[in-house]
Amino acid sequence: MLRITALAGGIGGSRFLRGLLRAAPDAQVTVIGNTADDITLHGLHVSPDLDTVMYTLGGGIEESQGWGRTGETFAVASELAEYGAEAQWFTLGDRDLATHLIRTRMLAAGYPLSAVTEALCDRWQPGVRLLPMTDDRVETHVVVASASGSEDDGASERAIHFQEWWVRLHAEVPARRIVLVGADQAKPAPGVLDALASADVIVLPPSNPVVSIGPILAVAGVRDAVRAATAPVVGLSPIIGGSPVRGMADAALQAIGVPTTAAGVAELFADLLDGWLVDTVDADAVPVVEAAGVRCAAVPLWMTDVDAAAAMARAALDLAEEVRAR
């Protein structure tokens, strides 16, 4: 049985994984999920990326937006607003909130996030083994200029939680730096290193390279484990024609000085990658990527539906096979 290990963020990763399960229905898939987007809201531990994977693969996602629960309602959020409770810029749906209640209660009882995630998946049966990247706390913070500060010195900066930058500020305030607080002290969650070492294929889906894939690789030991793995490592570009497929990946790439191009992202992962897929519109990136020693091919990368995602997954697995055969 083919063992596939994928590093996944939220929407893009989840949609790709759904295609992967269709493309390789008999594979044993382990997903290492980003938890650096996690945030405590109204006292509840929210894990947006893990939940997006779980809901998407478990059939509970709101398809129209790619996140949140289908048929969601907002009675609790509306009442919280009546009380004036912050943060009002992040709205928790009622159905979604039940997940966070259970997670928060289990964490308070001493269960690690990995055990909580397993318990939640017991309901959703996502068809993959979903592991948080770590049971420790890692948080993506974004350093932005203070409202008052126009000068370029430390005193005029402040660090805000990634979600505040992403959801509240729509990433419109330029990010000066992105800091993965806690990543260097975090230990990979149980199963993570083993899933990398024993994989037949390691896949980097078209997730945000900076704030989704980046934090997973930043957990102490994970990047080394991916590099040391015997499995071919193949990735799919989240950038098509110089723009992010979704979200505001360009703003995040800009913060770390990486060009918003299919080749730019490949370079970010060059030490890991054996293969890289770019969209057909980026075919001229193929020789650039290959010059860096990474096998590259151009295929359609728009995940317009599950079939399209499955075709992408098939192309990724084919590329892995090709790399392995060389």
- Residue 209: CB minimum distance to a second copy, A: 33
Which of these ranges, 69-77, 205-213, 232-240, 309-317, lies near a second copy under the rule CB under 8 A?
69-77
194: Cβ–Cβ under 8 A, 6 or more apart, which residues? Answer: none
- Residue 276: CB minimum distance to a second copy, A: 39
- Residue 41: CB minimum distance to a second copy, A: 10
What is each CA distance from 170 to 146, 150, 167, 252, 257, in whole angstroms? 16, 20, 5, 11, 19
Which of these ranges, 51-59, 68-76, 149-157, 180-188, lies near a second copy under the rule CB under 8 A?
68-76
Q: Does 43 bind a second copy (CB under 8 A)?
A: yes
Q: Interface mask (CB under 8 A) for a second copy, residues 87-116, using x and -?
A: -------xx-xxx-xx-xx--x--------
- Residue 48: CB minimum distance to a second copy, A: 17
Q: Does 44 bind a second copy (CB under 8 A)?
A: yes
Dihedral of the alpha carbons of 299, 303, 306, 307, in degrees to the nearest 10: -30
Could you list the beta-strand ranges (E) of 150-264.
157-161, 177-181, 201-204, 233-236, 239-240, 243-244
User: What are the residues facing 59 on neighbouring strands?
Assistant: none
User: What are the residues facing 52 on neighbouring strands?
Assistant: none
Assign 295 to helix, strand or coil: strand
- Residue 152: CB minimum distance to a second copy, A: 36
Contacts (CB under 8 A) with a second copy, residues 280-299: none
- Structure tokens given for 292: 């860096």
| 229-232: long-range contacts, CB 8 A cutoff, minimum separation 24 | 229/196, 229/197, 229/199, 229/202, 230/197, 231/5, 231/196, 231/199, 231/200, 231/201, 231/202, 231/320, 232/201, 232/202, 232/274, 232/275, 232/319, 232/320, 232/323, 232/324
- Residue 97: CB minimum distance to a second copy, A: 5
Q: Does 173 bind a second copy (CB under 8 A)?
A: no
Judged by beta carbon, residue 80 or residue 211, the one nearer a second copy is 80
Q: Which of 28, 76, 143, 314 binds a second copy (CB under 8 A)?
A: 76
- Residue 208: CB minimum distance to a second copy, A: 28
Q: Which of 2, 75, 228, 291 binds a second copy (CB under 8 A)?
A: 75
Assign 254 to helix, strand or coil: helix
Q: Does 123 bind a second copy (CB under 8 A)?
A: yes
Q: Does 85 bind a second copy (CB under 8 A)?
A: yes
Contacting positions for a second copy (CB under 8 A): 42-44, 73, 75-77, 79-80, 82-85, 94-95, 97-99, 101-102, 104-105, 108, 120, 123
